[in-house]
Chains A and B, each alone.
Chain A
């Protein structure tokens, strides 16, 4: 009898350990992956781990990472936004055209550009919340509409920008840190705080976790949905402004495929496609992982074709990890 109890104890201990491990992996797995990548790249190339390259990574990552905050909000509500890459491209064109072609000063031009992004976001949000159009479909439509608009406005050619403000936003530094990185930090701070600590954040989680429960708890569910898409539109436009600054031009075909990288970063960061779960901090780690991966592979001269395959495998691995560990926890 005692031996049986002994084996039972062992079995229980083993399973407890496995469960603890899976919780640990789910929470920290992507972070550990990030650290491991940094270590591997540091040993593989002397050009990876130095201040200049790290700044480079942060600046490159910032464009996608800023939008990923909005994407996190959207996916937590069980939605998706495929239009962000095109809205980003359109925004570079809009801000460039306003400044260069119409001679509007930089600050109002930027504000107008943000308004364009928010307008697109609000029509998407309205379609999702009130017309009940699946977000996948409506944002797929806006993906082509926004890209088409960008091409139409410019005839397909880049529009040069000569603006000190844009230059500062895209390529400038504040206390030695690139401006886009500063902007990213502010967005992440605000994005984290709102989601984790405010009533609005709770409402977003509730709407994604259970729409009917949220509605019956008196939450204005439709407004919450509209909000997350407006926010994402605004952030896509903001990133567009930063990118236009960095390129000193509005480029109509910029941001192609960005939506996929942004969604990948969000999912890597632990946001659930089912809705109701996810954090801004996780998304930051996910975005950094994607950025470091592509930077490191570039430094190692890995062919871009192979890079795409590796990126895909990383996404697959991370999602498998999260599915695997949540399964271990429920059993």
Chain B
């Protein structure tokens, strides 16, 4: 009954919501008419005024004659006398020079619309804005809900001001076989060169004057300065659709999207902490239901996902603006050389030639952003890209994204410098003010950006490294330092870790301050080397069970896994035994564990090491993020090109086979035994504060 009523409701909705916006069907011919469109492409032949490129799956160009053959006469076409046939072996179609044909729309708000008819595949259609011949924004079209009864469906960019930042028009329109995203890129799905999709009736609908002000801005004032449809980017208001993507504006499409999103999170999330916060999540999503403007939709979903406290949760988006990066790394530091002292963002590395990094030095303290204290500025930026997970840890780690966000905002940064290793008086402190809107924003929007850093530099929490490899070890003064950037089930990782601990060193620093997560088999290997099976029996992934977890159910799941040897057959329950594969050769070695940004595999390692009988001490600025569980990706529901995700199970630890513990861990990180923050006084001398403290502790055990 529910299904039937639902089908009926769509029919009823269809009667009233098929609107006149965009081209309409001619009632006499049943064909779409573009005669009122300002700019359109009928695809009856290769479009004039554009460069048309068609490529196969391996990016090899087709000849002009073969391209021409794809624009076929089609008596059943939607519009005009023909349509473009693409997809399958005709994988990519690129139209270059769109900007040269849209001069009349420079001050206008427009909507790009196009129709497709699947014949085995679909097209992902996007327009692209470039700045100085570099990709800036990629905006992909989404279904409007309009379709025809013979299988054509309409896609749209949604309303968008034509010029990015009031300056640049889109140069390219791309169409690519949907299998590029859903199949080929995923290793488990194939591609059929014979599939096709028909494309017809591209039009640019003039919606009136542009609505996003051509104004300078910062992220703090963007709501007031840039309005409901704009956001601040590199110091200038730009259309939000170019940054975060198309918003589902059709009421039916929007409702279905939000309803399905809430259902998925409410029912598929695997973390107990997420289920405890579902009401908050739903309330945040409900705030979106009546919103029809562009600036708040995707950021609100991101904030809602963050409420789940799942460190593996990720927001999704249907567009993105290519990020630019400075080669400056900022993390939390102790400003012990400044008169006021306190914990403030500190420069850990400034190694680039860009105009910001080249002016900064290790140990410089960021004292204000746009005149606000750094944390006040973070709190004032509604779109700040926060880290998800344990809020105490996420607060500390928020600083990781400060420099990139400040760059995107066009913020003014003020740094304080003390050029000696002893505390400075107020008169000895020098200040450096960097106006990122002036340094980067102005030349960017003039089309002459400074040399860009489009490759993101990984910002290491380690002030100094014992190894430059992502997994490696070295010895100094009788102490071995094993450095890992996450835990990965590769031969190199497994071999390096095993060699580092066999035979066991006398004392060990395990430095995982740049923790990139990883795989549970690698965790199992490392933990088994360091922890006796008498101290820790196992870690287990436990699916969320609506009726609640109890000992009988847990026993049923365990028995199933023993019998079937399949996690998939047994509710996606998994048992990771300690000591099953390797002996705990280093179980007696004292371990100083150095943490900073620790999630997932590094959460597991940290928690497991707390079970050691032998000495273990955790040094960190705060807890781990509490990401205890495996991840699943959200389905693509509205053409998202940034995929969302979350944990599909939680985890428990068992000290022994008889341990009845059922505490699900996700959301609360492992706290350090000793809170350690890099000191400014050490930084100016090139000393890693955390390592010094760890060495002192290990030395104290064996003087």
Indicate whether A and B interact. Answer: no
